[in-house]
Amino acid sequence: MRPFNPQFILDVIPNLLPFLWVTLSVVLGTVFFGSLLGFVLARAKLSQKPLYCWLADGYIYIIRCTPSIVLLFIVFYGLPKFCLEVFDMDINGYEKIFFVLVTFTLLFAAPISEVMRSAYEAIDHGQYEAAVSIGLTPWQAFYHIILPQATVVALPNFGNSVIELMKEGSLAYTIGLVDLIGKGQLIISQNYGAYALETYLPLAFIYLLLTLGVEKSFLRLEHAFSRQKKAA
Amino acid sequence: MDINYQFLIKTFYLVLAAVPTTLNITAVSLLIAMPLAFYLAVIRLRPGKYIQIIISGYITFVRGTPIVLQILIIYSILPSFLNSVAKGFALEVNVFDWNPIIYAYIVFSLNTTALLCEVFRSALASINKGQLEAALCAGMTTVQAYRHIIVPQALVVAMPNICNITVKLIKGTSLAFLMTVKDMTAVAKIAASYGYNYIEAYMDVFAGYVIVCSVVQVAFAFAERHVGKFRFIK
């Protein structure tokens, strides 16, 4: 067995770090678009019409049973063909990050819609009724009264979902996106397969720091929000 | 969209034939992880400083890094490490001839152990301490008390989370193809590469996973109803 080379770890970190922003932009983009889609799903699940409710339920169930890598491949191979046939649009040349964003938005929306729905249901319905009865429009009542309270309830689960997403997002390298792990794989193949462990260990360390950072910042946010709640 | 239906159906049977491999990895990993996780959870509830730090470090590492990375790390060091160990003991085995499914067992058991440990710990902590004390006072040994009093009640709490972890584990085994294990994903990938029918192949895998996960969730619903009779009623 080749001896472990700690010096290589220090050499490889500066090469990896520039690709941190690719990983982070995948996460941030997915959180943004996924929350929008999740909001729509949560709205559908709470609606009075059984068809919408049923559709949202089915979507959430199927996503829960789908491995991310399978959906990633389906989107990567299927979406260009689908767009070409249906919209007559050629997206074969699109950046890989586009397919990654589409996949993880689809994946992230399902758990986040459940988080939003449970947070919404945790707020007493009387709050909404009181707000409407003093003359707020339904949208104002939702935006000024329900949303701030539901956010506090949703934050811990939201943070967990983001961490989960960040870890799943590492699969993006399988379709050739050069993010942290993609760059790591490139470095390993540049060295003809040597120094694999010395490249994976700093990657694991970076991911560990990222997840711990996200966890800490969500805890901070939670504290800030609940202090506001107490003051009020 | 032109979909090759003949290929779609043919590959679906191929994927179904690989379901046992997926279930095999899942079942073996769970069987290894459950006792280990239970033991770690019991240790975590006891005082003891250094062992706590080691266990919580392990759990933080597993929960804080992507499973792909764990697979890549273990698959890049373990075979050559085992080989040098075998050589060191002058054993007549060739590690590289082993079925790669062994590494899948190792990775997924290590991963599941950490996740299950947290579940078991919170489930055990939810049981009133008086239960254990009462059982010991009644003359049971610690093992008996856990076996007959604590575990049945803790299982009621833990069951939904165990179901979630099992479904996650099944989904996670789709990455076993990175270790050249021929599971559902790998079989479909190989079948697709002859004629570039990737969409059809992955739709088959997709359907396969939805079926497997549905069956597992139904099974857990039954199990939950079964352990539900041990629910503690005040």
pLDDT digits (tens, 9 = 90+) for B155-172: 888 888 999 999 999 999
Interatomic CA distance for residues A46 and A153, integer angstroms? 17
What is the sign, positive or negative, of the torsion defined by CA atoms of A73, A215, B63, A199? positive
List CB contacts (< 8 A) between A207 and chain B. 64-66, 69
pLDDT in tens, A178-200: 888 888 888 888 878 777 788 88
Name the residue of chain B whose CA is nearest to A208's CA.
B64
- Choose the most confident range, by mean pLDDT, from A1-10, A193-202, B91-100: A193-202
In-domain check, residue A1 = no
Name the residue of chain A whose CA is nearest to B57's CA.
A208
In-domain check, residue A162 = yes
pTM assigned to the model: 0.87
* Chain B stretch 80-139, residues whose beta carbon is closer than 8 A to a beta carbon of chain A: 80-81, 83-84
Close Cβ partners of A13 (under 8 Å, ≥ 6 residues apart):
A202
In-domain check, residue A4 = no
Q: Under an 8 A CB cutoff, do B66 and A77 touch?
A: no
Q: Which domain does B186 fall in, by range? A: 5-230
Name the residue of chain A whose CA is nearest to B171's CA.
A67
3-class DSSP assignment, residue A227: helix
3-class DSSP assignment, residue B145: helix
Calculated CA dihedral for residues B150, B153, B214, A68, nearest 10 degrees = -60
| Cα–chain center distance at B122 | 18
**CATH number for position B223:** 1.10.3720.10
pLDDT in tens, A115-173: 999 998 888 888 888 998 998 888 888 888 888 888 888 888 899 899 989 988 888 88
- Which of B65, B77, B210 has its CB closest to that of A208? B65
Q: How many domains does chain B have?
A: 1
In-domain check, residue A189 = yes
* Chain B stretch 133-172, residues whose beta carbon is closer than 8 A to a beta carbon of chain A: 167, 171-172
**CATH number for position A45:** 1.10.3720.10
ipTM of the complex: 0.85
List CB contacts (< 8 A) between A169 and chain B. 66
B202 touching A, CB under 8 A? yes
In-domain check, residue A226 = yes
For B213, which DSSP code?
Answer: H
For B146, which DSSP code?
Answer: I
Q: Which domain does A92 fall in, by range? A: 9-231
Q: Are B63 and B117 in contact (CB under 8 A)?
A: no
Interatomic CA distance for residues A34 and B4, integer angstroms? 32
Q: How many domains does chain A have?
A: 1
